[in-house]
Structure 1
Amino acid sequence: MPRRTLPTLALAALLSFGVAACGSDQAATSLELSAALPDQVPSGTTLRLGDPPVQAVLGAAGLDKELADAGIKVEWANISGGPQSIQAFRADKLDCSAVADIPSLFAAWTGTSTKIVFQSVTVDPLKFPIYQLGVAPGVAVGSLADLRGKKIAYSAGQAQGALVLRVLKQAGLTQKDVQLVELTSTGDSYVTALGTKAVDVAPLGAQFVKVYEAKYPGATTIGTGIRDDASTLYCLTSAVQDAAKAAALKVYVSVRTKALLWQNEHPDDYAKLYYQDSQGLTAADARAVVTLYGQKGIPASWDNAVSRLQETADLLATEQKHDKLDVSTLVDRRFEPVEAAAAGSRTVSGDAS
């Protein structure tokens, strides 16, 4: 395929970005954060993505073709969660990663500039929570009030850490009423900590609940009773400031929206492709996890998600002694209508609040 030259399309793109044609290559690809997202993806543009659940289904859903047709190359990274993604961002090895809402806050507090470009919600978040509280075998915890005096696994920079603080608040307890055990959640590390009784309680995602119950006789869990369904795609700010990557991300956000809706419509296929084939669960457990997590919704508006993120930031600023943070600076709402347009009539009004 012949290489594109500056006249016509590329020159028009440069002018729209407000960059002089005689500028450097770096300047020629820059995009102001207030500028409209470009529609044209330069051929061969590469996105470096840590988004394993979506990666698993693109081929089966026929959505990989949309990326290829747009001229986008994806370099997939088997990365998820805040600590891994922030480390990869700092090493400039990743453009975007699928996480909950906490990593964007900690990236800001630790000097890594990122933007949220995607929001999704659980259609019925209290009926289908992301986390349950795992209880170590032989430990008596039947309600949130029983958390008093217990050793609880805690990772300050992850969604699990914020969940623990919110659960304590729900129970009328403070950090002084429990023993928080600093422990990063990686893979089934919380499962092992519970099984060996290094901690009494730990927040477990649904897939790890199944692993825990199968591995340790006497394992039990209790519900948190709070909403915990924040789900985002966040990117290095430098990625959304790169005109080529911003154009590619506009396509990817649309494709990712369709992929989540495909997961809703093909739960058995999704269970096999991701939880069974990729995560190693049995067929029965994979199907059970998909059922436990419920359907994902695409919000028509990000207003409620941003409000919840601000509440979480305020809580963490108080409990963990961080600076106050205006979370609107972390959210790139140019991608909000892109997501909504891809979902069409299947958006969730009111953000399932």
Structure 2
Amino acid sequence: MALATASRWPRGSAPLALFVGISIALLVFFAPARHAVAAKAGLALTAPLPDRVPPGIVLRVGDPVTRWVFEHNGWDKKVPFRIEWAEITGGPDVTEAFHAGVLDVGFGASVPPIHAVWMGIPVRIIAFREYADRESRQAYVFGIAPKANIKTLSDLRGKRIAFSPSQVQAQIVIETLKAAGIRREEVTLVELPSSIGGDVYTNALASGAIDAAPIRADLVAQRYIRDFGPRGARILRHPPFRDDGGNIYVPETALADPGKAAALRIFVHYWGLGQAWINAHPEELARGYYATKRGLPLADARVMASYIANVSVPRTWDGAIAYEQAAIDTLGPETKRPRLDAAALFDRRFETIAGDAAAAAKGNR
């Protein structure tokens, strides 16, 4: 196996990537490394969650979709604490923000919470969602470069594949190679972090810098084929394994603060309500957030909304824990990281909160 690092950002992604990278780096440099100090005097992680939020509590949250849903429904004004919203998304940026002590709540797929712990930042998952139709739907597909001559997954042998160790895309690559019977040394893994919009990967594919990359199966894949399909670009589904989980996760330092722990309990309740609201209002989400807020054409906005408007919020986390353990067991040996017990990543005091809220909201419709 060869691991390469991209020598430059693909065309069109450099300004944004550079701005985000510099911003996060400055936060890390100037902010205190709060995660490094054990919360010895704070709330124990086994103690019951407090019911009362004291005055002055602030939660710093980095999930733009949740922000829009909260503000659209007025929930940010109902909660007994202040929310400071941050435009910090994606596993690598959330991890950096946790490291800097400037974020309390992040959203990510299976790998970011695991990678944070591997980086020495103790975090806990406090809410989980998955596709309601996850048996038939994939969150990611493989984008194939126009001139890569890849028609099946077995053709990945000898090719250059995008690889981001701190994101779920890495898990997808490793599991796909195993399923196809391809050894790591038979491919070149190009270390390249994926952007939320997918532009880094799709630009690299279009330019021929890489041959294949796991990309979102939503608008990212549709745009890629729309723009580059006439030149020979194609999409391949990966083998049947799970790639759909989404986590709300927080640093343990936030949970050790009794006031923030109480606020997180309420936040997770409203987050569960938010998932039910999204399921019931995909058109409103498409028009209000993706079209008006993000500036997408309405047709594209509807595609994006449809991919997050059919989710389930389980009341029990046994399946979620198994999902995270699979990610640990896939990536740990391949990246030389220690094995973790996935159950220890979850704060089960929160287990039923979001699921109960989502079920109640669904029942009231």
Alignment TM class, shorter chain as reference: 0.7 to 0.9
> 2:177, 2:315 → 1: CA distance?
31
The CA deviation at 1:42 is 1.2
SS of residue in 1 equivalent to 2:351: helix
1:184 and 2:193 matched = yes
Matched, 1:57 2:72: no
Q: Distance in 2 between matches of 1:330 and 1:27?
A: 17
Corresponding residue SS for 2:46: coil
TM-score after normalising by structure 2: 0.82
Among 50, 56, 72, which residue is 1:38 paired with? 50
- Give the Cα–Cα distance (whole angstroms) in 2 for the partners of residues 328 and 28 of structure 1: 22
Distance 2:209 2:223 in 1: 17
- Deviation, 1:214, is 3.8
Q: 1:276–1:286: 8 Å Cα contact kept in structure 2?
A: yes
Alignment-derived partner of residue 33 in structure 2: none
2:52 counterpart letter in structure 1: Q
* Residue of structure 2 aligned with 1:223, choices 237, 259, 270: 237
2:313 is paired with a residue of what secondary structure?
Answer: strand
Deviation at 1:92, TM superposition (A): 0.7
Give the distance between the partners of 2:171 and 2:90, measured in 1 at CA: 13
Aligned pairs (5 A) from 1:1-353: 30-67=42-79, 71-186=80-195, 187=197, 188-205=199-216, 206-216=218-228, 217-218=230-231, 219-225=233-239, 226-292=241-307, 295-344=310-359
Amino acid at match of 1:200: D
- Whether the aligned pair in 1 keeps the contact of 2:61 and 2:84 (CA below 8 Å) is yes
CA distance in 1, matches of 2:70, 2:327: 32
* More off after superposition, 103-112 vs 137-146: 137-146
User: Hey, what's the Cα distance between the residues in 1 that align with 2:39 and 2:174?
Assistant: 44
Provide the secondary structure at the position in 2 that maps to 1:299. Answer: coil
Give the C-alpha shift of residue 346 in structure 1: 7.4
Q: Which has the larger radius of gyration?
A: 1
Q: Say whether the 8 Å CA contact 1:190–1:202 is kept in structure 2.
A: yes
Partner SS, residue 203 of structure 1? strand
Q: In structure 2, what is the Cα distance between the partners aligned to 1:110 and 1:268?
A: 39
Letter of the aligned partner of 2:206 in structure 1?
G
- Indicate conservation of the 8 Å contact 1:129/1:227, yes or no: yes
Code of the aligned partner of 2:237: G
Deviation of the 1:278 alpha carbon:
3.8
Aligned identity (percent) is: 38
> How many residues in Structure 1 have an aligned counterpart in Structure 2?
319
1:294: how far off?
5.5
Aligned counterparts of 2:165 and 2:274: Cα–Cα separation in 1: 31
Q: 1: distance between equivalents of 2:115 and 2:327?
A: 12
Q: For each residue in 1:188-209, what CA deviation from the matched residue of structure 2 results, as whole angstroms up to 9, or x when unmatched?
A: 1111101111011111112322
Moved segments of 4+, more than 4 Å: 26-29
CA contact 1:299–1:340 (8 Å) conserved in 2: yes
Alignment CA distance shift 1:133-1:323 (3 Å): same
**1:153-185 deviations in Å (ceiling 9; x for gaps):** 000111111111111122222212221111111
Contact conserved, 1:57 with 1:273, CA < 8 A, in 2? no
